[in-house]
Structures are given as C-alpha cells and as structure tokens.
Structure 1
Amino acid sequence: MQIGIFSVGDITPDPTTGRTPTGAERIKALTTIAQHAEEVGLDVFAVGEHHDHPFVPSAVTTMLAWIAARTTRLTLSTSITHITTNDPVRIAEDFAMLQHLSDGRTDLMLGRGNTGPVYDWFGKDPRRSVELTVENYQLLRRLWDEEVVDWEGEFRTPLRGFTSTPRPLDGVAPFVWHGSIRTPQVAEIAAYFGDGYFANNIFWPKEHYIRLINLYRERYAHYGHGAPEQAIVGLGGQAFMRRNSQDAVREFRPYFDNAPVYGHGPSLEDFTAQTPLTVGSPAEVVEKTLTFHEFFGDYQRQLFLLDHAGLPLKTVLEQLDLLGEEVVPVLRKEFEARRPAHVPSDPPDHASLVAARQLQLAQELAGGDAAGRA
C-alpha cells in the first residue's frame, strides 16, 4: 500500500500564539514538509489546488516541480486539480511536463472543487459542474492518448489538428484519481475509464463513503476492468499524535476548536467518534486506520492530513516522524497480511503503466501477425 500525506495549504492563525504565518512562510513550509515526508519513508505527497484566501497552493505543478528537484523517490500528486475550471489543454501539458521533470513520479487527482466563487473567477457556471467534469475529462484523455486531436465541445473553443506538448513521458499518461466526497457521477467516470477513485472520507460518517466506493467498485467491474475488489481505491485520514494520548488531546484541542474547517461545530470527542480523525497515540492511529479495511475493503492508497488548523511547522515535522517511525511500518505489514493475492497492493505507477502499454502493443502486433498468416 502507498501511504503518504496531503495538504490543503491553508493559512490559519495558531490559536495558542495568535500568530498567522505569511504566504511565503506557508509555501516554504509545504516544501519542507514534502521533503521530510520522503526522509521518513512515506510514499506520496499531494497538495490541493486552491485559489481562494486563505490558501496558498494555486500553482500546484510549480510547487511539485520544485519538490521533484529535491527528492528522488516520492510520488508527487494533487489532492485536487480542478477539472471543471482548468483548461484541459493546460492540465495535459502541465502534468506531462511534471512527468518529465520528476522521471515519472507523478499522478494527479481530479475534482470539481468545493468553492463556489472559483467558477466565476475562471468564467465557468457552477450549475454545470458535472457536465464540465465529463466533457473536460474526455478531452484531457484524448490530449494525452492521441498525437493529433480534432475536437469540438460545448465549453471551450474547438481544436483542429492540435498536439499537446510535451507528449507524456514514454507515451504513457499520468495515472488519474477522481476525488469525490458526495457525487456519484464522479465514481461512474472513474469506473468507466478504469481510473482510481479517492474518497476523501475525513468529514462525513463512513456509511456515506461506503455507498460511493461500492458504486465505483460495481461499475469498475461492469466496464470490464477487473473484479470489484480489484478496483483502485484511495482514502483520506487525519491524525494528531503524541506518545501519550492525553497529551495529544490536550495539545490538539485548541487547534480543533478554532479551525475554520470544523471549529465551533461538533466537539473533538464527537468528531473523532464519527470520522477518521484520530487524536492520540501512534498505536491508536494504527488501530483506527486498520478499521478502514473492514468498512471499505482492500485499498491501495492512504493519505493523512497533518499540517492544517494552524499547527506550527515544528509540530508537523514531529507528526511526520511519528507517522514514519511508528505508524507506517505497522500499517504496511497488517494491510499486506489481509490482502488477497489477486488484489493489487499499490496503485499503478509509471513503470507499471509503461509495462502494460508494451504488453498491449505486443499483443496487438501478435494478433495482427496471426490475422495476416490466416
């Protein structure tokens, strides 16, 4: 299983000091966090595209390219790239470029976005978000898969004889995840194309996500990509750890109570009971994360949110140390022991996608030769 972290890049005042980091400080903190994630043995760093205040990651491929130059193993991804408001041509070219710069250590998660005003800022109608998702993704796939594209749709100007550049590394597009917290149509799109489905199950009760994931698995099998249990699933998670549970609760409570995302809502105790948030010891994080297998079945990627709510960089790096030293090794061992042999342990990466493409080409060539001899 791939295990990593994701960030939304929020700028939030530290409630214990009253200090708010500058945008420059937060951007540099994100790059430090990504580098430390590799140092402690994590597999993935993902950052979410946001254009509204108080978030900083508006140009995610720029940030990921900087991180790629300073890491050697980490998979660089997004916890959302807006398929609705970005031009598919821009997405195709940006992520192909990132593929080349990172030597293939690139995938991405597409989503509609959950901030209404961003549609107006990019000249799109939020009431058409599902239609935008479908059309834009169909075009994006063609831009990656076809050398020359002739295309006409509803939401952008036509393309005539267009070739996006650079072409995907080794002729293979980055692996795509489709992220959703509420939209069945997104699960359908992921299943149709045989892509990954990421359920960012950090806010709502598990029953909601069980329905979405089961729908994706059923439709994945319907479209002939494999058995339902072989579908490629990713999950979110949240944690705050100290070696002593009481210390973790005492330290994290003011951050939880004042965070814009969930502050002034349910109590910390109610929220941890109803969602994946774990505030406690590393052993408690392991115990709760292992229950995801019971609810959602085997899955291939687990991303934790660690750097939000105004937590200082020093504290986030300490969280990464605990995650890498005491949580990740146990999770990998336990999840692998539970996984049937026919279920993928990891999502596709560049090497496996290249190998699959070469096999497909060889089979097509063999089939053509056999037809010629007949």
Structure 2
Amino acid sequence: MQFGIFSIGDVTADPATGRTRTEHDRLKAMVATAVHAEEVGFDVFATGEHHNLPFVASSPTTLLSHIAASTDRLILSTSTTLITTNDPVKIAEDYAVLQHLADGRVDLMMGRGNTGPVYPWFGKDVRQGIPLAVENYALLHRLWREDVVDWEGKFRTPLQGFTSTPRPLDGIPPFVWHGSVRSPEIAEQAAYYGDGFFVNNLFGPMSHFTKLINLYRERYAHYGHGTPEQAIVGAGGHVFVRPNSQDAVREYRPYFDNSPVYGGGPSMEQYMAQTSLTVGSPQEVIDKTLTFRDHFGHYQRQMFNIDMAGLPLKTVLEQLDLLGAEVLPTLRKEFASGRPSDVPDAPTHASLLARRATQPEEAAK
C-alpha cells in the first residue's frame, strides 16, 4: 500500500492572521511539504494542475522536477494532469523528461479538471470534455509505446511519422491513473487500458465512489487484465490532525469555513459524517481511513490533502510529523492484514521493468 500527500496549490488567506502568502511562498511551501513527506515516511507526493486563481500549480512537471532534485525515494505524481486542455504530444514529452530526471520515480493521473472557463483559454469546448479525454489519451498511450506514430483524430492536427522525444526511460511509460469524481466513462477508459483508477472522494458520499470503483473493477476483468480484485485502485482523503480531537476541530474550523472548496456549504461536521474528511486525533484518522477498505476493497494508493485553505507551512509540517510517527505505521500494518496474495501493489518503474523481463508481451500493453 502506498501512502501519499497531494496539494492543490491554492493561495488562500490565513483566517487566523488575515495574511495571504505570495505565490512565491506558496510554491516554496509545496516543495518543503514534499521533501518533509519523504522524510517522515510517505511514498508519494502529487500536485494538481490549475490555470486559474487562486491556484499556483500551473506547471506540474516544473514543480515536480525541482522536488525530484531534492528527494531520493519519493514517487512524484499529479493529482490531475489535464488530458482535455493539454496537447497529448506535450504531455508525452514533458513527463518523459521528468521521468528521466527523476530516475523513473514518476507516474501521473489524468483528469478533466473542474473549472469550465479553462477550456476556451486553451481553445477547447467544455461540452467536449469526455470525447477530448478519450481521444487525447488514446494518442498519448500510443506516443509512449510506438517509436513512430501516424495518427488522425477530431481535436488536433494529424501526425505523420512522428516520434515523441525523449522516449520513456528504459522504454517503459510512466504508470497512469485516471481520476474521476462522477464519470463512468473515465472508469471505463481506465479499465480498457488496464491503467489505475483513482477516486478523489473529497466532496461526495462514499457510496457514490463505491459504484464507480465497482464498475471499474468489473470492466477491468472484462478486458482481460485480471480479476476484479486485482484492479489498481487509489483513493483520496483530507485530514487535519492534532494530538487530540478537540484541538483539531477548534483550530481547523476557521480554515474549513474559509476554504475555496468547502466554505459556504454544509458544516464541517456534516462533511466529516458523509465524506472522507477527518479532523481529529491520529487514532481518528486511522479509524476513518481504515473504513475506506470496506467501501473500495483492497486498494493500492491512499492520498491525503493536508495544506488547503491558507494553513501555514509550520502547521502542515507538524501534521506530517504526527502522520509519519503515529498514523502511517498503523495504517501500513492494518492495510496489509488480510490482504490476499494475488492483489498486486501499485506499479512502479522498478516493478514494471521487472515485469517486462518476465512477461515482455504483457508489459508492452
């Protein structure tokens, strides 16, 4: 089981001080968070991709390349790569460069984004979101696996005899997750390619995401990639942790109310009752996170957001210390308990390289 931290890179005023960090400080804080996440034992750091205020994470490969130079073990990922508004050729080349610089410590999550106005900024039509995601990923998948590509589609100019450069490290493309909040078409797409499926279950009831995961598992088996239980599943989460729950609730409430994604909606208690949000003690984070397996089955990656809504870097690093010391060891032990031997781990560059050595035809898919 992999455990990670993801950031959406929002620039939000700290309600405790009224101060809003500069974009410079926010980006530097994301780097510091990733570096400390590795130090306390997390496996993955992921950044979102946004091209609108109040976010700074507009260039994931630039940010992750910088983090790669400051870490040794951490897997570098995205919590959204916009497959709809980015050119798949540019995605193929940018992430291949990152993969080389990070010595293979790279995967990424494809998503459509949740901000409609972004589409026309990049010459796209939001009403074509699903067709764009399907067509663009079909091209990206080929660009990473075929040295010379002839291609023609609906949404970009044709390619004739095109080679994406550099080629993926060791000839092995970065592993891809497909993220979805509501779209069964994306679960189908992930299953078709045998890729991972990730539900960022922050804002809806767990039963909704269970249906998407069950669909993905069923279709994964339908396409011959393995049993439903062997499908590669990831889940999101959002925590604010303090040594005792009363302090956590009291301290985080103004940040929740001020959040660009939560504020103005249901109360914090209602969100905690219905979604993955946990505001409390280390034991409460453990208890809530372990319930995800009841909904999703045995899965491979659990990601947490801990830095949203103007939280100062000092507070974020304190949470990392608590999570690393008091939460991760127990979660690793409990998630391993009862895990069937045929349920695979999340793919890494090393595991895909080893798989190619023993199953070259299967690894090339």
- TM-score category (smaller protein): over 0.9
Q: In the alignment, does 2:309 pair up with 1:321?
A: no
Q: 1:103 to 1:363 in 2, by over 3 A?
A: closer
Output the amino acid matched with 2:52: D
Contact 2:75 2:106 in 1 (8 A): yes
Output the amino acid matched with 1:356: R
Q: In the alignment, does 2:279 pair up with 1:279?
A: yes
Partner Cα distance (1:6, 1:244) in 2: 24
Q: 1:251 to 1:158 in 2, by over 3 A?
A: same
**CA shift for structure 1 position 299:** 0.3
Deviations 1:117-159 (A, max 9, x none): 1100000011111111111000001100000001111100111
Long gaps (5+) in structure 2: none
Find the residue that maps to 1:325 and give its secondary structure: helix
Partner Cα distance (1:361, 1:193) in 2: 16
Deviations 1:70-105 (A, max 9, x none): 100000000000000000000000111111000000
Output the amino acid matched with 2:197: Y
In structure 1, what is the equivalent of residue 266 of structure 2?
266
Long gaps (5+) in structure 1: 365-374
In structure 2, what is the equivalent of residue 361 of structure 1?
360
State the superposition RMSD in angstroms.
1.1
Partner Cα distance (1:242, 1:111) in 2: 32
Find the residue that maps to 2:359 and give its secondary structure: helix
**CA shift for structure 1 position 265:** 1.3
Q: In the alignment, does 2:340 pair up with 1:340?
A: yes
Q: In the alignment, does 2:349 pair up with 1:350?
A: yes
Partner Cα distance (2:139, 2:359) in 1: 23
Partner Cα distance (1:179, 1:314) in 2: 30
Find the residue that maps to 1:270 and give its secondary structure: helix
In structure 2, what is the equivalent of residue 312 of structure 1?
312
Q: 1:278 to 1:362 in 2, by over 3 A?
A: closer
In structure 2, what is the equivalent of residue 112 of structure 1?
112
Q: 1:362 to 1:212 in 2, by over 3 A?
A: closer
Q: In the alignment, does 2:79 pair up with 1:79?
A: yes
In structure 2, what is the equivalent of residue 189 of structure 1?
189
In structure 1, what is the equivalent of residue 64 of structure 2?
64
TM-score by length of structure 1 reads 0.96
Q: Structure 1 stretch 220-229 or stretch 351-360: which is displaced more?
A: 351-360
Q: In the alignment, does 2:145 pair up with 1:145?
A: yes
In structure 2, what is the equivalent of residue 175 of structure 1?
175
Partner Cα distance (1:127, 1:351) in 2: 39
Partner Cα distance (2:132, 2:259) in 1: 32
Q: 1:24 to 1:141 in 2, by over 3 A?
A: same
Find the residue that maps to 1:164 and give its secondary structure: coil
Find the residue that maps to 1:197 and give its secondary structure: strand
Output the amino acid matched with 1:282: P
Deviations 1:8-50 (A, max 9, x none): 0000000111000000000100000000000001000000000
Q: 1:74 to 1:363 in 2, by over 3 A?
A: closer
Output the amino acid matched with 1:359: T
Rg comparison, structure with higher value: 1
Output the amino acid matched with 2:298: D
TM-score by length of structure 2 reads 0.98
**CA shift for structure 1 position 354:** 1.4
Contact 2:238 2:278 in 1 (8 A): yes
Find the residue that maps to 2:144 and give its secondary structure: helix
In structure 2, what is the equivalent of residue 9 of structure 1?
9
Q: 1:93 to 1:319 in 2, by over 3 A?
A: same
Partner Cα distance (2:150, 2:232) in 1: 31
Deviations 1:159-178 (A, max 9, x none): 11110000000000000000
Partner Cα distance (1:337, 1:88) in 2: 40
Output the amino acid matched with 1:111: G
Partner Cα distance (1:362, 1:166) in 2: 22
**CA shift for structure 1 position 357:** 2.0
**CA shift for structure 1 position 6:** 0.4
Partner Cα distance (1:260, 1:112) in 2: 19
**CA shift for structure 1 position 234:** 0.2
Partner Cα distance (2:361, 2:9) in 1: 44
Partner Cα distance (1:361, 1:58) in 2: 36
Partner Cα distance (1:276, 1:361) in 2: 39
Find the residue that maps to 1:69 and give its secondary structure: helix
Output the amino acid matched with 2:216: Y
**CA shift for structure 1 position 363:** 9.1
Partner Cα distance (2:46, 2:263) in 1: 24
Partner Cα distance (1:251, 1:300) in 2: 31
Partner Cα distance (1:303, 1:161) in 2: 39
Partner Cα distance (2:362, 2:45) in 1: 35
Aligned length: 363
Partner Cα distance (2:360, 2:339) in 1: 30
Percent of matched pairs sharing the same residue: 70
Contact 2:356 2:362 in 1 (8 A): no
Deviations 1:289-344 (A, max 9, x none): 00001111000000000000110000000011111111111000000012111111
Partner Cα distance (1:36, 1:209) in 2: 30
Q: What does 1:118-157 correspond to in 2, within 5 Å?
A: 118-157=118-157
Q: 1:156 to 1:103 in 2, by over 3 A?
A: same
Partner Cα distance (2:313, 2:264) in 1: 24
Contact 2:202 2:276 in 1 (8 A): yes
**CA shift for structure 1 position 359:** 2.3
